[in-house]
């Protein structure tokens, strides 16, 4: 699976993509992640990717033309299978496990990361296949949502996780414990582990996890 990320801050992804599961997945060839500097697709000497909004208002808006050129250029790099263009927007569909599982069926996702006061609406109308939000709050740009989406989607890519079983098979999460069996932070206090987890009865443990 391949992720192409359109951003004005391509180096913002460096540290996260070089650690943990995403690093191993890239090394194993399970996923390819390519950040693209949107300025490389801008027209003119100054590589301008933003401008003032029509009708007035604060801030700047990312222009439609460099985004279109970037998407067209990326799509010319032929890949097998299906591809989808995603724009991150607070108005978009909330990202959840069902959406991530669906997106994992694509061979390439092109992620458009907005900045400043947003992205020219014509990107949503004519270029993006869908808009996705990671929550009811405002961030400075789409880079963090892109990281969230990539990790969420990659969990459904075969071989990405060490074990096939994952939290998605339950209702999102369940309490977990490890050694020591009893922890005493101060004298007289004992923080223990639920007895069912020490029982060795895997059927009861699974039942407990699903009900927790």
Q: Based on the fold, state whether residues 136 and 33 are members of the same structural domain.
A: yes
Joined tokens for residue 85: 């263009």
Evaluate whether residue 8 is within a structural domain. Answer: yes
Kindly give the pairing relationship between strand 108-112 and strand 83-94. Answer: parallel
Q: Domain residues for 34?
A: 2-154
Q: Where are the alpha helices (DSSP H) in the chain?
A: 14-17, 20-27, 64-76, 97-103, 121-126, 143-154, 202-211
Q: Based on the fold, state whether residues 118 and 17 are members of the same structural domain.
A: yes
Q: Which residues contact 144 (CB under 8 A, 6 or more apart)?
A: 134
Please state the φ and ψ torsions of residue 50, each to the nearest 5 degrees. -135, 165
Q: Based on the fold, state whether residues 54 and 102 are members of the same structural domain.
A: yes
**Distance in angstroms between the alpha carbons of the first and the last residue of the chain:** 34
pLDDT (tens, 9 = 90+) of the chain, 212 residues, equals: 999 999 999 999 999 999 999 999 999 999 999 999 999 999 888 889 999 999 988 889 999 999 999 999 999 987 778 999 999 999 999 999 999 999 999 999 999 999 988 999 999 999 999 999 999 999 999 999 999 999 999 999 999 986 655 555 555 578 899 999 999 999 999 999 999 999 999 999 989 988 88
Q: Based on the fold, state whether residues 129 and 177 are members of the same structural domain.
A: no
Verdict on whether the full-model pTM lies above 0.85: yes
**For residue 113, what are the CA distances in angstroms to 58, 69, 80, 81, 128?**
19, 15, 24, 23, 11
How far is 83 from 103, CA to CA, in rounded Å? 9
Is 165 strand, coil or helix? Answer: coil
């Amino acid at each position: 699976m391949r992720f192409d990320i359109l951003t004005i801050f391509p180096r913002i992804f460096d540290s996260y993509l070089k650690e943990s599961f995403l690093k191993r997945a890239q090394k194993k060839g399970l996923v390819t992640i390519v950040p693209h500097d949107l300025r490389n697709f801008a027209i003119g000497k100054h590589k301008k990717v933003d401008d003032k909004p029509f009708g007035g208002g604060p801030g700047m808006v990312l222009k439609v033309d460099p985004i279109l050129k970037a998407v067209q250029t990326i799509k010319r790099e032929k890949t097998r299978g299906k591809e989808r263009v995603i724009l991150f927007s607070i108005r978009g569909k909330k990202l959840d496990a069902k959406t991530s599982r669906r997106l994992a069926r694509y061979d390439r996702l092109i992620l458009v990361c907005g900045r400043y006061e947003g992205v020219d609406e014509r990107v949503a109308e004519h270029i993006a296949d869908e808009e996705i939000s990671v929550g009811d709050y405002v961030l400075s740009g789409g880079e963090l949502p892109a990281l969230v989406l990539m990790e969420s989607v990659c969990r459904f890519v075969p071989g990405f996780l060490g074990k096939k079983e994952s939290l998605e098979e339950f209702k999102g999460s369940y309490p977990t414990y490890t050694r020591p069996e009893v922890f005493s932070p101060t004298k007289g206090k004992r923080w223990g582990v639920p007895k069912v987890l020490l029982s060795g009865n895997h059927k009861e443990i699974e039942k407990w996890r699903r009900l927790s």
